[in-house]
Chain A
Amino acid sequence: MALDLSVENVTKTFGDFTAVNEVSFAVEQGRFFSILGPSGCGKTTLLRMIAGFIEPTAGRILIRGNDMANLPPNRRPVNLIFQHLALFPMMNVAQNIAFGLQRRKEKKPEIDRKVADILERVGLPGFGNKKIDQLSGGQKQRVAIARCLVLDPAVLLLDEPLGALDLKLREQMKVELKKLQAQVGTTFIYITHDQSEALVMSDHVAVMNNGRFEQVDTPRKLYAHPKTPFVARFVGDNNAWKGIVADHREDLCTIETTDGQIFTAGAAPDLPSGTPVAFFIRPEAIIIAPDAGLDDFNRLPVVIKSILFDGANSRLLATPVDGEKELMIALPQNRQYDHLNAGDRVDIGWSARSASCFKAS
């Protein structure tokens, strides 16, 4: 498939500080690509380099095969949706959307037709004469998207546009944005620090940290097989343990944690005995009161410290009977565990291969 965007070894330094460090990736046509990272990881700098507001210190940015070097933002076939949308308050909805078309010197009837058409597509037919401050948060969002999409950009860049919305609307817009992208087929590059936004909407997610890409993968693989400790910690919740490899056999290893627990875990072959490791187990991978007789299974009696009720996202906080480490355990709300209370002892366990294990840095 044709590449809409390829970024080759792009670096950006500000004085001594390296904001973006040797980043390379390519996005195929029509994909929803997210860049996920904590604030200050360089994702906004990267996005602004693609949009043309910042020139990279080194490396190339190609859009549909054309080198974008020294091309100002107004001449690049990309459009950016700003964090706070940056709709023009001095114009109405139709004028906002027509702004880019007028800059291209298109004919008035053509502009009117395209504006009406795009408003229809984003689900705001007849909103042309409304003022910007008459719109709700979600409607503003859609006008901002329409204002960019009407120009038919090769790539649409989105800079955390859902950040300012309240939770309910954000959940709704996530789904809408995904649907809209599938419908218009434009390549979306979406940056966010919210892992749920990235996981729900994207075809591919790049996890960024300290100016580098840690891992580029599908959301499912990113979640199930993180390649670095940072990804394991940042994407989804994880219980982290430190320990030393005590024994290594085939694809499993035995780990002794610093607080004296012994577990088996699935392990890469480059972890010989004696290696210090960090290993991670997801809250929902832990089974409460597991059946007896499972193979390659870790078992552990724990004391429940407290129950964190949060609907479908409810958790147990527990510590091993003979340890200090606090564990987070998913608590399914299917009434099976209603009898559990703080202070109870309960057996937990997880399959050895559901834990990820990395060499400790």
Chain B
Amino acid sequence: MNAARARITLPFLIFVTPVLMWLFLLIVLPHIDLLLMSFRIEDDAGATVWSLVNYLNFFDEPVYWRTFTRTAVYAILTTMITFAVSLPVAFYITKVVSPRFSGFLSLLLLMPFWVSELVRVYGWMILLRESGVINHFLLKAGLLQRPVEMLYNDVTMVMGLVYTSMLFMVVPLISVLESLDDSLIEAAYDLGGNVFSIVTRIIIPHAMPGIVSGGIVVFMLTLGNYLTPNLIGGKNSLWFTEQIYNQFIASFNWNQGAAFGFLLLILSSSIIWIGLKLTRQKLSQVVQ
């Protein structure tokens, strides 16, 4: 009997060990270390002691919690805009064009992701900066008298974030819309539905698992994004990841940085939890 059990568990162990090692060594262990670090400070004598000061700093200093709220609000906004842009795209790819063409279109969507995010963001900067391509043409066309700086504001930053994360919304939406029977849309149309009622009553309820899973991914990526807000958001658009970066690299205050890191983790987890509750989805269904 023991032999039989060993035959089942040995291959299982071989497969599961790397996963557990990866989880434990690269995720759990560093996080425990960071968590401990966030509760410690150096006292005047240079010795490390336990303290809540790192967390209290966050609430005392308005620039920290304001950046924090700003980041959360903009991440939610970005997720919503990404959804609004992606739904028509996904619908067009799955339901409007012929199936042969839809594969090609999905590939086109994927193409920008073959280059690194850094290069893509610089691409946007070449287009939008004061001496950039768009300004050049607007000046040539006589629509502008003097070049306008289009970078380093919130609108451009959100646009950049939407562009960066769109694919992660479109892909789950495509897979969930592919399973939507066309005759449901036709039936709704036949029963007197218009575009608005068909989208809100048929398409969105059906696509809900895809919307939520895409939303979680986009929200997480946006909240944790560092490059895009830093490069095209500029100094006026502070992002919370920049605060964490500053603590670790600029101030060399790892304890403070760790505390901020944990606050960001709590923020993202709780917003996703609220999102799941509001849409009445279960995490286990959404990640399938």
Contact = CB atoms under 8 A, between A and B. Distances in A.
Interface of A: 51-53, 72-75, 79-80, 82-84, 86-91, 99-100, 102-104, 147-148, 151
B202 A79 contact: no
Given A51-B190, A86-B183, 4 more contacts: A53-B186, A79-B190, A82-B186, A99-B188
B181 A84 contact: yes
Contacts of A53: 186, 190
A74 B193 contact: yes
A122 B201 CA distance: 25
A90 B279 CA distance: 13
B187 interface: yes
Contacts of B184: 86, 88
B197 A80 contact: no
Nearest to A159: B183
Nearest to A157: B190
17 contacts: A53-B190, A73-B190, A74-B189, A74-B192, A79-B190, A80-B186, A82-B186, A84-B183, A90-B202, A90-B205, A90-B206, A91-B201, A91-B205, A99-B191, A103-B197, A104-B192, A151-B192
A88 B188 contact: yes
B110 to A, nearest CB: 30
Contact of B194 (A99, A103, A151): A103
A75 B188 CA distance: 12
Nearest to B194: A74
A104 B184 CA distance: 19
A74 B205 contact: no
Nearest to A80: B190
B192 A82 contact: no
Contacts of B193: 74, 99, 103
A103 to B, nearest CB: 4
B186 to A, nearest CB: 6
B82 to A, nearest CB: 23
B202 A88 contact: yes
Contacts, number: 61
Contacts of B186: 53, 73, 80, 82, 86
Nearest to A105: B192
Nearest to B192: A103
A200 to B, nearest CB: 26
Interface of B: 181, 183-184, 186-194, 197, 201-202, 205-206
A52 B190 CA distance: 8
B202 A103 contact: no
A73 B191 CA distance: 8
A275 B193 CA distance: 58
B183 A73 contact: no
B192 A100 contact: yes
Contacts of A147: 191
Contacts of A80: 186-187, 190
Contacts of B206: 89-90
A148 B187 CA distance: 10
Contacts of B192: 74-75, 100, 103-104, 151
B194 A86 contact: no
A335 to B, nearest CB: 49
Nearest to A104: B192
Contacts of B202: 88, 90
Contacts of A82: 183, 186-187
Nearest to B205: A90
Contacts of A84: 181, 183
Given A84-B181, A86-B181, A99 B190 contact: no
Interface centre among B186, B190, B206 (most CB of A within 10 A): B190
A164 B182 CA distance: 17
A79 B194 CA distance: 15
Nearest to B187: A86
A100 B197 CA distance: 11
A151 B188 CA distance: 13
Interface centre among B181, B187, B193, B197 (most CB of A within 10 A): B187
A73 B189 contact: yes
B187 to A, nearest CB: 4
B200 to A, nearest CB: 11
B181 A100 contact: no
A99 B183 contact: no
A114 to B, nearest CB: 14
Contacts of B189: 72-74
Given A84-B181, A84-B183, A90-B202, A103 B190 contact: no
Contacts of A51: 190
A243 B187 CA distance: 50
Contacts of B201: 88, 90-91, 99
Contacts of A103: 191-194, 197
Nearest to B197: A103
A72 B189 CA distance: 9
A90 B280 CA distance: 13
B149 to A, nearest CB: 47
Contacts of A100: 191-192
Nearest to B186: A53
Nearest to A53: B186
Nearest to A102: B197
A26 to B, nearest CB: 23
Query: Which 7 A-B pairs have CB atoms at the shortest separation, nearest pair first?
Result: A103-B192, A86-B187, A100-B191, A90-B205, A86-B183, A82-B183, A73-B190
A74 B195 CA distance: 10
B210 to A, nearest CB: 13
Interface centre among A82, A86, A100, A151 (most CB of B within 10 A): A86
Nearest to A74: B192
A261 B143 CA distance: 93
A75 B193 CA distance: 9
